Amino acid sequence: MKEQRISSSVIKRLPRYYRFLGELKKQGITRISSGELAARMKLTASQIRQDLNNFGGFGQQGYGYNVEMLYDEIGEILGLSSLTSAVMLGIGKLGVVVAENMDFKKQGFKLVGAFDVSEEVIGKTVAGIKVQNLSELEVFCKKHKPKAAFMCVPSSAAPELAEKLIELGVVGFWNFSHYDIRLKHPDVFVENVHFGDSLMRLSYKIKNS
Amino acid sequence: MKEQRISSSVIKRLPRYYRFLGELKKQGITRISSGELAARMKLTASQIRQDLNNFGGFGQQGYGYNVEMLYDEIGEILGLSSLTSAVMLGIGKLGVVVAENMDFKKQGFKLVGAFDVSEEVIGKTVAGIKVQNLSELEVFCKKHKPKAAFMCVPSSAAPELAEKLIELGVVGFWNFSHYDIRLKHPDVFVENVHFGDSLMRLSYKIKNS
């Protein structure tokens, strides 16, 4: 494996390869040529070969790719086999939707705690986890040492909370709030889900067509 | 303006520029140098100059960028000033969260209709719109001619629905379902919000650190 040298644009595409290969596996397909995979994914065969060469070149001339091997390897690179403990902050409507619609274990995480400040949700259960008062976060993190935080809080609450979580050992954020965590903390890992940015890009595409 | 030649990676960054410039405007900042904007956005000054040169080069040596002018121009390029009519499909928990948390008009859209198949939600109001039975979609679209659809339906319902919407004149999809609309319809515009892909990328970042 040559993970160290994988470019960020390849990383961006990895989950899509992983999903596609998972589909092929489900359909009982055991091997596939770069040409056919390209046709299914609407990419070029040469881009597929280039991308997948990053992972040790499982393709063989005249044979194609071994679907299961490639699927497992990409899953391994994505780090899905060992689960990172995560806490969810903010169990409002968005938090509940996210918690209940995701199969975190399939994506490499284990949700171990859920926190909110609202009396309305504290004590309720979401995705099998009892929602705790935010005031218990520190004690909880010192005990369970989560490495990741899912931020479903309003933007106004995000800066202080991010600060606190980083102090408590969190190194990665899945961030739904409109606060740019990396600006103040360039050393943490962040994946932003910015609904607004995505919608503006759609606006661009439609209007510049 | 030279929109035609703007690369897709610049387009990806545009909403972020737009948000940042909006913040600066709110703070009463009227002009900013590429160096200072770069420092705030954690980019390099040269990347900022390169990116913003695409929009007619508003920067002036020794003056910097006129914040309001640049903000307006980027908003214009993103097509935010004229609203695209959109329908929302699927008013489950996710649909409600999306509808109620977004200010669609700020992002270039006007929600004109909402549809579901569940008797539990039909007739209810979401984001000021009465939820209609999906069976009324065709008549509605022929009358109101929405150009965009927000897809908050389960993956299983997405293929048939996308097909129908395209027939009815929809050209752009904001897609939360796990169905790759462009594979069958490469000619429509799609912005996917893939929670799972985003979470897998976070897994990669944490585990390969």
As a whole-number percent, the residues of chain A with pLDDT over 70 amount to 95
For residues B199 and B181, give the distance between their C-alpha atoms in angstroms, rounded to a whole number: 21
As a whole-number percent, the residues of chain B with pLDDT over 90 amount to 70
Minimal-distance CA residue of chain A relative to B180: A41
C-alpha separations of B57 from A8, B1, B38, B50, B65 in Å: 28, 9, 16, 9, 9
Instruction: For residue B160, give both structure tokens.
Output: 């048939």
Tell me the domains of chain A and their CATH numbers.
3-77 (1.10.10.10), 84-197 (3.40.50.720)
Let me know: does A101 contact A126? Beta carbons within 8 Å. Answer: no
CA B20 to chain centre: 16
What pLDDT score does A3 carry?
44
For residues B75 and B81, give the distance between their C-alpha atoms in angstroms, rounded to a whole number: 7
Over residues B65-84, the mean pLDDT reads 92
pLDDT at B58 over 70: no
What pLDDT score does A97 carry?
92
pLDDT at A128 over 70: yes
Over residues A185-202, the mean pLDDT reads 93
> To the nearest whole number, what is the mean pLDDT of chain B?
91
pLDDT at A105 over 60: yes
**A82 interaction partners in chain B (CB closer than 8 Å):** 207
Residue of A51 and A118 predicted with greater confidence: A118
- pLDDT band at B2; cut points 50, 70, 90: very low
Across the A/B interface, how many CB contacts are shorter than 8 Å? 179
Sign of the dihedral defined by the CA atoms of residues A37, A38, A42, A48, in that order: positive
For residues B24 and B149, give the distance between their C-alpha atoms in angstroms, rounded to a whole number: 32
Residue A87's DSSP bridge partners are A113, A149
Residue of B169 and A61 predicted with greater confidence: B169
Over residues B158-167, the mean pLDDT reads 97
Convert the pLDDT of each residue in A47-85 to its tens digit. Answer: 988 888 877 656 666 778 899 999 999 999 999 999 999
**B78 interaction partners in chain A (CB closer than 8 Å):** 200-201, 203-204, 207
Cross-chain CB nearest to B193 (options A178, A191, A195):
A195
Least Cα separation, residue B59 to chain A (angstroms): 23
Q: Do B41 and A16 touch (CB under 8 A)?
A: no
Q: Minimal CA–CA distance to A129: which of A141, A116, A112?
A: A112
Amino acid (1-letter code) at residue B42: K
pLDDT at B124 over 50: yes
What pLDDT score does A4 carry?
52
What pLDDT score does A53 carry?
81
pTM over 0.90: no
- pLDDT band at B57; cut points 50, 70, 90: low
For residues B160 and A168, give the distance between their C-alpha atoms in angstroms, rounded to a whole number: 47
Query: What's the alpha-carbon Rg for chain B, to the nearest Å?
Result: 20
Could you identify the residue written with the tokens 């218990």? A136
Instruction: For residue A183, give both structure tokens.
Output: 């600006």
What pLDDT score does A113 carry?
98
- pLDDT band at B59; cut points 50, 70, 90: low
pLDDT at B62 over 80: no
